[in-house]
Amino acid sequence: MSQIAFQIRQIVQRMWFLPAAFSVVAILSIGIAWFLARFAPENLPFTMPSNGVVSILTILASSLLTVAVFALSTMVSALSSASNSTSPRAVSLITGDRSAQTSISVFIGAFLFSIVGIIGLSAGFYSEAGRLFLFAVTLGVVVLVVTALIRWIGQISAIGRVGHTIDRVEHATREAFTMITEHPFFDCRLQIIAPQGMPINARSVGYVQHVDASKLQRIAKENELTIAITARPGAYVAPNRPLMLVEGSVPDACVDDLAAAFVVGDSRTFYSDPRFGLVVLGEIASKAMSPGINDAGTAIDVIGTLVRVLVARQPHNEDQQPRYDLVSAPPLDPADLIDDAFRPIARDGAATIEVVLRLLAGLKTLAHASDELKQPALAMARDAAARARQAMTAESDLKTLEDAAAFAHEQGGE
Protein backbone atom coordinates (compact mmCIF):
# COMPACT_ATOMS: atom_id res chain seq x y z
CA MET A 1 0.00 0.00 0.00
CA SER A 2 1.36 3.42 -0.94
CA GLN A 3 1.54 6.28 1.53
CA ILE A 4 -1.36 8.04 -0.19
CA ALA A 5 -3.57 4.98 0.19
CA PHE A 6 -2.49 4.63 3.81
CA GLN A 7 -3.32 8.27 4.59
CA ILE A 8 -6.71 7.94 2.86
CA ARG A 9 -7.44 4.85 4.96
CA GLN A 10 -6.55 6.76 8.12
CA ILE A 11 -8.87 9.64 7.16
CA VAL A 12 -11.76 7.34 6.25
CA GLN A 13 -11.56 5.69 9.67
CA ARG A 14 -11.86 9.00 11.52
CA MET A 15 -15.15 9.44 13.34
CA TRP A 16 -15.99 12.69 11.56
CA PHE A 17 -15.52 11.37 8.01
CA LEU A 18 -18.73 9.39 7.54
CA PRO A 19 -21.02 12.08 9.05
CA ALA A 20 -19.37 14.63 6.79
CA ALA A 21 -19.88 12.36 3.76
CA PHE A 22 -23.55 11.81 4.62
CA SER A 23 -24.02 15.56 5.06
CA VAL A 24 -22.62 16.19 1.59
CA VAL A 25 -24.92 13.52 0.15
CA ALA A 26 -27.88 15.12 1.93
CA ILE A 27 -27.16 18.51 0.39
CA LEU A 28 -26.60 16.96 -3.04
CA SER A 29 -29.95 15.16 -2.84
CA ILE A 30 -31.68 18.53 -2.38
CA GLY A 31 -29.96 19.86 -5.49
CA ILE A 32 -30.70 16.67 -7.47
CA ALA A 33 -34.40 16.96 -6.64
CA TRP A 34 -34.41 20.52 -7.96
CA PHE A 35 -32.47 19.52 -11.08
CA LEU A 36 -34.72 16.56 -11.95
CA ALA A 37 -37.79 18.73 -11.56
CA ARG A 38 -36.68 20.71 -14.62
CA PHE A 39 -37.37 17.66 -16.81
CA ALA A 40 -40.78 16.84 -15.31
CA PRO A 41 -43.94 17.39 -17.45
CA GLU A 42 -45.93 20.56 -16.85
CA ASN A 43 -49.21 18.73 -16.08
CA LEU A 44 -48.65 16.45 -13.10
CA PRO A 45 -51.28 13.91 -11.99
CA PHE A 46 -51.17 15.44 -8.50
CA THR A 47 -49.23 18.13 -6.68
CA MET A 48 -47.77 18.44 -3.23
CA PRO A 49 -48.44 21.64 -1.31
CA SER A 50 -45.42 23.39 0.06
CA ASN A 51 -46.69 23.44 3.64
CA GLY A 52 -47.19 19.65 3.56
CA VAL A 53 -43.54 18.97 2.76
CA VAL A 54 -42.40 21.64 5.22
CA SER A 55 -44.40 19.98 8.00
CA ILE A 56 -42.70 16.63 7.43
CA LEU A 57 -39.26 18.20 7.21
CA THR A 58 -39.89 20.22 10.38
CA ILE A 59 -40.78 17.07 12.30
CA LEU A 60 -37.63 15.39 11.02
CA ALA A 61 -35.43 18.36 11.87
CA SER A 62 -36.75 18.79 15.42
CA SER A 63 -36.66 15.09 16.30
CA LEU A 64 -33.37 14.19 14.60
CA LEU A 65 -31.48 16.94 16.42
CA THR A 66 -32.43 15.27 19.71
CA VAL A 67 -31.66 11.80 18.34
CA ALA A 68 -28.25 12.91 17.01
CA VAL A 69 -27.30 14.49 20.35
CA PHE A 70 -28.43 11.34 22.18
CA ALA A 71 -26.44 9.10 19.82
CA LEU A 72 -23.29 11.19 20.22
CA SER A 73 -23.64 11.28 24.02
CA THR A 74 -24.05 7.49 24.00
CA MET A 75 -20.91 7.18 21.92
CA VAL A 76 -18.97 9.42 24.34
CA SER A 77 -20.14 7.30 27.27
CA ALA A 78 -19.12 4.14 25.42
CA LEU A 79 -15.66 5.55 24.74
CA SER A 80 -15.23 6.50 28.39
CA SER A 81 -16.41 3.06 29.51
CA ALA A 82 -14.08 1.29 27.11
CA SER A 83 -11.13 3.42 28.21
CA ASN A 84 -11.78 2.83 31.92
CA SER A 85 -12.69 -0.87 31.83
CA THR A 86 -10.44 -2.17 29.04
CA SER A 87 -7.64 -0.10 27.49
CA PRO A 88 -7.41 3.46 26.13
CA ARG A 89 -5.61 1.99 23.12
CA ALA A 90 -8.83 0.21 22.11
CA VAL A 91 -10.83 3.45 21.86
CA SER A 92 -9.75 4.06 18.26
CA LEU A 93 -11.42 0.80 17.23
CA ILE A 94 -14.74 1.92 18.74
CA THR A 95 -14.61 5.32 17.09
CA GLY A 96 -13.75 3.57 13.83
CA ASP A 97 -16.64 1.11 14.14
CA ARG A 98 -18.35 1.47 10.76
CA SER A 99 -21.80 0.35 11.96
CA ALA A 100 -21.90 2.93 14.75
CA GLN A 101 -20.58 5.65 12.45
CA THR A 102 -23.23 4.82 9.86
CA SER A 103 -26.11 5.22 12.32
CA ILE A 104 -24.85 8.55 13.65
CA SER A 105 -24.13 9.72 10.11
CA VAL A 106 -27.70 8.95 9.02
CA PHE A 107 -29.09 11.04 11.89
CA ILE A 108 -26.82 14.00 11.20
CA GLY A 109 -27.23 13.78 7.42
CA ALA A 110 -31.05 13.54 7.66
CA PHE A 111 -31.10 16.51 10.04
CA LEU A 112 -29.08 18.61 7.60
CA PHE A 113 -31.29 17.40 4.73
CA SER A 114 -34.36 18.63 6.61
CA ILE A 115 -32.86 22.03 7.41
CA VAL A 116 -31.71 22.68 3.84
CA GLY A 117 -35.04 21.45 2.47
CA ILE A 118 -37.00 23.81 4.73
CA ILE A 119 -34.79 26.73 3.68
CA GLY A 120 -35.30 25.92 -0.01
CA LEU A 121 -39.10 25.62 0.32
CA SER A 122 -39.40 28.78 2.41
CA ALA A 123 -37.43 30.71 -0.20
CA GLY A 124 -39.67 29.43 -3.05
CA PHE A 125 -36.77 27.57 -4.59
CA TYR A 126 -38.89 24.60 -5.74
CA SER A 127 -41.59 24.38 -8.37
CA GLU A 128 -44.57 22.01 -8.08
CA ALA A 129 -42.52 19.22 -9.67
CA GLY A 130 -39.59 20.03 -7.42
CA ARG A 131 -41.77 19.72 -4.33
CA LEU A 132 -43.01 16.36 -5.57
CA PHE A 133 -39.48 15.07 -6.08
CA LEU A 134 -38.44 16.47 -2.71
CA PHE A 135 -41.39 14.72 -1.06
CA ALA A 136 -40.32 11.39 -2.61
CA VAL A 137 -36.77 11.86 -1.36
CA THR A 138 -38.12 12.79 2.08
CA LEU A 139 -40.04 9.50 2.27
CA GLY A 140 -36.83 7.65 1.47
CA VAL A 141 -35.02 9.58 4.20
CA VAL A 142 -37.75 8.66 6.71
CA VAL A 143 -37.32 4.96 5.90
CA LEU A 144 -33.54 5.30 6.21
CA VAL A 145 -33.82 7.06 9.58
CA VAL A 146 -36.19 4.46 11.01
CA THR A 147 -33.88 1.65 9.87
CA ALA A 148 -30.85 3.38 11.39
CA LEU A 149 -32.72 4.02 14.63
CA ILE A 150 -33.70 0.36 15.00
CA ARG A 151 -30.12 -0.70 14.30
CA TRP A 152 -28.78 1.85 16.79
CA ILE A 153 -31.03 0.45 19.53
CA GLY A 154 -29.33 -2.91 19.02
CA GLN A 155 -25.87 -1.35 18.95
CA ILE A 156 -26.09 0.68 22.16
CA SER A 157 -26.63 -2.51 24.14
CA ALA A 158 -23.15 -3.74 23.17
CA ILE A 159 -20.96 -0.79 22.21
CA GLY A 160 -18.38 0.09 24.83
CA ARG A 161 -18.88 -3.13 26.79
CA VAL A 162 -15.84 -5.23 27.68
CA GLY A 163 -16.88 -8.16 25.48
CA HIS A 164 -17.60 -5.90 22.51
CA THR A 165 -14.22 -4.18 22.88
CA ILE A 166 -12.39 -7.51 23.06
CA ASP A 167 -14.18 -8.62 19.88
CA ARG A 168 -13.18 -5.41 18.10
CA VAL A 169 -9.52 -5.83 19.09
CA GLU A 170 -9.58 -9.49 18.05
CA HIS A 171 -11.02 -8.57 14.66
CA ALA A 172 -8.40 -5.87 14.09
CA THR A 173 -5.58 -8.22 15.11
CA ARG A 174 -6.84 -10.96 12.80
CA GLU A 175 -6.99 -8.46 9.93
CA ALA A 176 -3.40 -7.39 10.62
CA PHE A 177 -2.20 -11.01 10.58
CA THR A 178 -4.17 -11.62 7.38
CA MET A 179 -2.55 -8.61 5.72
CA ILE A 180 0.89 -9.90 6.68
CA THR A 181 0.04 -13.35 5.33
CA GLU A 182 -1.16 -11.92 2.00
CA HIS A 183 1.81 -9.54 1.74
CA PRO A 184 4.67 -11.26 3.57
CA PHE A 185 7.55 -8.97 4.48
CA PHE A 186 5.66 -6.10 2.75
CA ASP A 187 6.21 -7.93 -0.56
CA CYS A 188 9.96 -7.62 -0.04
CA ARG A 189 12.66 -10.26 0.35
CA LEU A 190 13.05 -12.06 3.65
CA GLN A 191 16.08 -11.02 5.70
CA ILE A 192 18.00 -14.23 6.32
CA ILE A 193 21.29 -12.83 7.58
CA ALA A 194 22.03 -9.75 9.66
CA PRO A 195 21.85 -6.70 7.35
CA GLN A 196 24.68 -4.27 6.84
CA GLY A 197 25.02 -0.87 5.25
CA MET A 198 24.62 2.84 5.82
CA PRO A 199 21.99 3.57 8.49
CA ILE A 200 19.14 5.91 7.58
CA ASN A 201 17.69 7.27 10.81
CA ALA A 202 14.21 8.57 11.53
CA ARG A 203 13.57 12.28 11.24
CA SER A 204 11.23 12.39 14.25
CA VAL A 205 10.44 10.49 17.43
CA GLY A 206 7.49 8.13 17.38
CA TYR A 207 6.19 4.80 16.17
CA VAL A 208 6.45 3.46 12.64
CA GLN A 209 2.90 3.26 11.30
CA HIS A 210 3.50 2.38 7.67
CA VAL A 211 6.31 1.39 5.31
CA ASP A 212 6.03 2.30 1.62
CA ALA A 213 8.04 -0.55 0.12
CA SER A 214 7.22 0.51 -3.43
CA LYS A 215 8.89 3.87 -2.85
CA LEU A 216 11.95 2.18 -1.38
CA GLN A 217 12.14 -0.15 -4.40
CA ARG A 218 11.91 2.78 -6.81
CA ILE A 219 14.70 4.70 -5.07
CA ALA A 220 16.85 1.57 -4.81
CA LYS A 221 16.42 0.82 -8.51
CA GLU A 222 17.19 4.38 -9.59
CA ASN A 223 20.39 4.55 -7.50
CA GLU A 224 21.53 0.89 -7.61
CA LEU A 225 21.03 0.35 -3.89
CA THR A 226 20.09 -2.57 -1.68
CA ILE A 227 17.85 -1.70 1.26
CA ALA A 228 17.26 -3.68 4.46
CA ILE A 229 14.33 -2.52 6.58
CA THR A 230 15.15 -2.63 10.30
CA ALA A 231 12.03 -0.97 11.75
CA ARG A 232 8.73 -2.78 11.17
CA PRO A 233 5.39 -1.04 11.82
CA GLY A 234 5.08 -0.68 15.58
CA ALA A 235 8.78 -0.06 16.18
CA TYR A 236 9.72 2.95 18.30
CA VAL A 237 12.16 5.13 16.40
CA ALA A 238 14.10 8.32 16.98
CA PRO A 239 16.81 10.32 15.18
CA ASN A 240 19.42 7.98 16.69
CA ARG A 241 17.65 4.77 15.61
CA PRO A 242 17.90 3.51 12.03
CA LEU A 243 14.86 2.82 9.92
CA MET A 244 16.91 0.87 7.40
CA LEU A 245 20.41 -0.06 6.33
CA VAL A 246 21.42 0.76 2.76
CA GLU A 247 24.20 -0.86 0.77
CA GLY A 248 25.61 1.15 -2.09
CA SER A 249 26.48 4.76 -2.76
CA VAL A 250 23.60 6.80 -1.32
CA PRO A 251 23.26 10.29 -2.83
CA ASP A 252 22.68 13.00 -0.24
CA ALA A 253 19.46 14.00 -2.02
CA CYS A 254 18.03 10.52 -1.48
CA VAL A 255 18.50 10.33 2.27
CA ASP A 256 15.40 12.35 3.12
CA ASP A 257 13.39 10.55 0.43
CA LEU A 258 14.33 7.19 1.93
CA ALA A 259 13.33 8.31 5.43
CA ALA A 260 10.07 9.73 4.05
CA ALA A 261 9.04 6.23 2.95
CA PHE A 262 8.29 5.53 6.62
CA VAL A 263 5.22 7.10 8.22
CA VAL A 264 6.07 7.90 11.85
CA GLY A 265 3.29 8.90 14.22
CA ASP A 266 2.65 9.54 17.89
CA SER A 267 0.97 6.18 18.49
CA ARG A 268 0.84 2.66 17.10
CA THR A 269 -1.91 1.54 14.75
CA PHE A 270 -3.60 -1.83 14.44
CA TYR A 271 -3.24 -2.01 10.66
CA SER A 272 -0.11 -3.96 9.62
CA ASP A 273 0.99 -4.15 13.28
CA PRO A 274 -0.51 -7.33 14.78
CA ARG A 275 1.75 -7.10 17.81
CA PHE A 276 -0.14 -3.98 18.85
CA GLY A 277 -3.39 -5.94 18.90
CA LEU A 278 -1.76 -8.58 21.10
CA VAL A 279 -0.45 -5.86 23.41
CA VAL A 280 -3.90 -4.29 23.77
CA LEU A 281 -5.52 -7.65 24.51
CA GLY A 282 -2.86 -8.26 27.14
CA GLU A 283 -3.57 -4.81 28.63
CA ILE A 284 -7.28 -5.61 28.88
CA ALA A 285 -6.55 -8.83 30.78
CA SER A 286 -4.00 -7.07 32.97
CA LYS A 287 -6.45 -4.32 33.92
CA ALA A 288 -9.12 -6.93 34.66
CA MET A 289 -6.75 -8.45 37.23
CA SER A 290 -6.14 -5.14 39.01
CA PRO A 291 -7.36 -4.90 42.63
CA GLY A 292 -9.96 -2.29 41.70
CA ILE A 293 -11.64 -4.55 39.15
CA ASN A 294 -10.57 -8.10 40.11
CA ASP A 295 -12.34 -9.74 37.17
CA ALA A 296 -10.66 -13.08 36.54
CA GLY A 297 -13.36 -14.03 34.04
CA THR A 298 -12.32 -11.26 31.63
CA ALA A 299 -8.68 -12.32 31.88
CA ILE A 300 -9.67 -15.91 31.08
CA ASP A 301 -11.75 -14.68 28.13
CA VAL A 302 -8.79 -12.71 26.80
CA ILE A 303 -6.51 -15.74 27.10
CA GLY A 304 -8.93 -17.74 24.96
CA THR A 305 -9.05 -14.89 22.45
CA LEU A 306 -5.24 -14.68 22.24
CA VAL A 307 -4.90 -18.42 21.72
CA ARG A 308 -7.59 -18.35 19.04
CA VAL A 309 -5.87 -15.50 17.18
CA LEU A 310 -2.41 -17.08 17.31
CA VAL A 311 -3.64 -20.53 16.30
CA ALA A 312 -5.50 -19.06 13.31
CA ARG A 313 -2.39 -17.12 12.27
CA GLN A 314 -0.97 -18.42 9.00
CA PRO A 315 2.81 -18.83 8.66
CA HIS A 316 4.74 -16.84 6.11
CA ASN A 317 5.08 -18.34 2.65
CA GLU A 318 8.81 -18.04 2.21
CA ASP A 319 8.63 -19.47 -1.30
CA GLN A 320 6.52 -16.59 -2.60
CA GLN A 321 8.42 -14.44 -5.08
CA PRO A 322 9.06 -10.94 -3.69
CA ARG A 323 7.61 -8.02 -5.59
CA TYR A 324 10.35 -5.67 -4.39
CA ASP A 325 13.57 -7.64 -4.82
CA LEU A 326 15.91 -4.80 -3.85
CA VAL A 327 14.34 -4.39 -0.42
CA SER A 328 14.39 -6.92 2.43
CA ALA A 329 12.36 -6.99 5.64
CA PRO A 330 12.69 -8.94 8.88
CA PRO A 331 10.01 -11.45 9.93
CA LEU A 332 7.97 -11.24 13.09
CA ASP A 333 9.78 -12.88 16.00
CA PRO A 334 7.55 -15.65 17.49
CA ALA A 335 9.02 -14.94 20.93
CA ASP A 336 7.87 -11.32 20.67
CA LEU A 337 4.33 -12.45 19.85
CA ILE A 338 4.17 -14.69 22.92
CA ASP A 339 5.71 -12.05 25.18
CA ASP A 340 3.38 -9.29 23.95
CA ALA A 341 0.33 -11.45 24.48
CA PHE A 342 0.95 -13.36 27.70
CA ARG A 343 3.63 -11.68 29.80
CA PRO A 344 1.24 -9.10 31.37
CA ILE A 345 -1.20 -11.88 32.23
CA ALA A 346 1.55 -14.05 33.72
CA ARG A 347 2.71 -11.12 35.83
CA ASP A 348 -0.61 -9.73 37.10
CA GLY A 349 -2.53 -13.02 37.30
CA ALA A 350 0.18 -15.00 39.06
CA ALA A 351 -1.73 -15.13 42.35
CA THR A 352 -5.00 -16.37 40.83
CA ILE A 353 -4.98 -20.10 40.20
CA GLU A 354 -7.90 -20.01 37.75
CA VAL A 355 -6.11 -17.55 35.49
CA VAL A 356 -2.78 -19.39 35.71
CA LEU A 357 -4.38 -22.71 34.85
CA ARG A 358 -6.11 -21.24 31.79
CA LEU A 359 -2.89 -19.49 30.79
CA LEU A 360 -0.90 -22.73 30.98
CA ALA A 361 -3.60 -24.59 29.05
CA GLY A 362 -3.51 -21.94 26.33
CA LEU A 363 0.26 -22.05 26.06
CA LYS A 364 0.12 -25.84 25.88
CA THR A 365 -2.32 -25.55 22.98
CA LEU A 366 0.00 -23.14 21.15
CA ALA A 367 3.00 -25.42 21.74
CA HIS A 368 1.16 -28.31 20.07
CA ALA A 369 -0.47 -26.23 17.31
CA SER A 370 2.56 -24.39 15.94
CA ASP A 371 6.18 -25.49 15.57
CA GLU A 372 7.15 -21.83 15.23
CA LEU A 373 5.54 -20.89 18.55
CA LYS A 374 6.42 -24.07 20.44
CA GLN A 375 9.64 -23.03 22.16
CA PRO A 376 8.47 -19.48 23.02
CA ALA A 377 5.19 -20.89 24.40
CA LEU A 378 7.03 -23.43 26.55
CA ALA A 379 9.40 -20.75 27.83
CA MET A 380 6.45 -18.52 28.71
CA ALA A 381 4.75 -21.44 30.48
CA ARG A 382 7.84 -21.98 32.62
CA ASP A 383 8.01 -18.25 33.37
CA ALA A 384 4.32 -18.12 34.31
CA ALA A 385 4.70 -21.14 36.58
CA ALA A 386 7.72 -19.59 38.32
CA ARG A 387 5.82 -16.35 38.94
CA ALA A 388 2.82 -18.27 40.27
CA ARG A 389 5.00 -20.28 42.71
CA GLN A 390 6.19 -17.04 44.29
CA ALA A 391 2.71 -15.49 44.43
CA MET A 392 0.64 -18.44 45.71
CA THR A 393 0.63 -19.69 49.28
CA ALA A 394 -2.05 -22.42 49.44
CA GLU A 395 -0.62 -25.91 49.18
CA SER A 396 -3.58 -27.13 47.10
CA ASP A 397 -3.02 -24.33 44.57
CA LEU A 398 0.67 -25.10 44.34
CA LYS A 399 -0.01 -28.80 43.81
CA THR A 400 -2.51 -28.01 41.04
CA LEU A 401 0.01 -25.60 39.52
CA GLU A 402 2.78 -28.20 39.37
CA ASP A 403 0.49 -30.70 37.67
CA ALA A 404 -0.58 -28.13 35.07
CA ALA A 405 2.97 -26.89 34.40
CA ALA A 406 4.57 -30.33 34.07
CA PHE A 407 4.26 -30.29 30.26
CA ALA A 408 6.57 -27.26 29.96
CA HIS A 409 9.47 -29.06 31.66
CA GLU A 410 8.89 -32.41 30.00
CA GLN A 411 8.86 -31.02 26.45
CA GLY A 412 11.01 -27.95 26.74
CA GLY A 413 13.63 -28.86 29.30
CA GLU A 414 15.22 -26.33 31.58
The 10s digit of each residue's pLDDT in 385-397 is 999 999 998 999 9
Does 178 fall in a domain?
no
Please give the Cα distance from 176 to 182 (Å, whole number).
10
User: At 414, is the pLDDT very low, low, confident or very high (cuts 50, 70, 90)?
Assistant: very low
Q: What is the pLDDT of residue 411?
A: 58
Judged by phi (left if over 0) then psi (alpha if -120 to 50, else beta), residue 244 lies in: beta
Of 103, 128, 160, the domain-final residue: 160
Q: What is the pLDDT of residue 413?
A: 46
Please give the Cα distance from 178 to 183 (Å, whole number).
8
Does 64 fall in a domain?
yes
Q: What is the pLDDT of residue 42?
A: 58
For the chain, state the CA radius of gyration.
28
Report the domain count for the chain.
2
User: Chain-wide mean pLDDT for the chain?
Assistant: 86
Q: What is the pLDDT of residue 317?
A: 63
State what percent of residues in the chain have pLDDT above 70.
Answer: 93
301 and 152 inside one domain: no
Name the 3-class secondary structure at 226: strand
34-48, 138-152, 204-218, 225-239 — which is least confidently predicted?
34-48
- pLDDT, tens digit, 9 for 90 and up, residues 303-314: 999 999 999 987
Of 132, 160, 188, the domain-final residue: 160
156 and 9 inside one domain: yes
Neighbours of 7 (CB within 10 A): 12
User: At 79, is the pLDDT very low, low, confident or very high (cuts 50, 70, 90)?
Assistant: confident
Q: What is the pLDDT of residue 93?
A: 83
In order of 85, 136, 293, 296, 332, the CA distances from 286 in angstroms are 11, 54, 10, 10, 24
20 and 151 inside one domain: yes
- pLDDT, tens digit, 9 for 90 and up, residues 345-384: 999 999 999 999 999 999 999 999 988 999 999 999 999 9
User: At 316, is the pLDDT very low, low, confident or very high (cuts 50, 70, 90)?
Assistant: low
Domain that holds residue 404: 277-317+329-412
Indicate the pTM of the whole model.
0.82
Contacting residues for 325 by C-beta, under 8 A, at least 6 apart: 188, 189, 217
Quick one: which of 13, 44, 19 has its CA closest to 128? 44
Does 312 fall in a domain?
yes
In order of 212, 325, 327, the CA distances from 367 in angstroms are 34, 34, 33
Does 242 fall in a domain?
no
Please give the Cα distance from 229 to 243 (Å, whole number).
6
Q: What is the layout of strands, in order, in the sheet containing 236-237?
A: 236-237, 206-211, 262-265
Quick one: which of 19, 12, 13 has its CA closest to 111? 19
Alpha carbon 313 to chain centroid, angstroms: 17
Q: What is the pLDDT of residue 162?
A: 87
Q: What is the pLDDT of residue 45?
A: 61
Neighbours of 97 (CB within 10 A): 19
Which of 7-11, 37-41, 59-63, 207-211 has the largest mean confidence?
207-211
Does 85 fall in a domain?
yes
- pLDDT, tens digit, 9 for 90 and up, residues 123-182: 777 777 777 777 888 888 889 888 888 888 877 777 778 888 999 999 999 999 998 888
User: At 96, is the pLDDT very low, low, confident or very high (cuts 50, 70, 90)?
Assistant: confident
Do 21 and 105 contact (CB within 8 A), yes or no? yes
Does 259 fall in a domain?
no
Do 159 and 85 contact (CB within 8 A), yes or no? no
Q: What is the pLDDT of residue 43?
A: 62
141-150, 219-228, 269-278, 318-327 — which is least confidently predicted?
318-327
Does 256 fall in a domain?
no
Beta bridge partners of 262: 211
Does 389 fall in a domain?
yes
Q: Which alpha helices (H) appear in 123-197, and where do they start and end? A: 128-156, 162-182
DSSP label at 126?
-
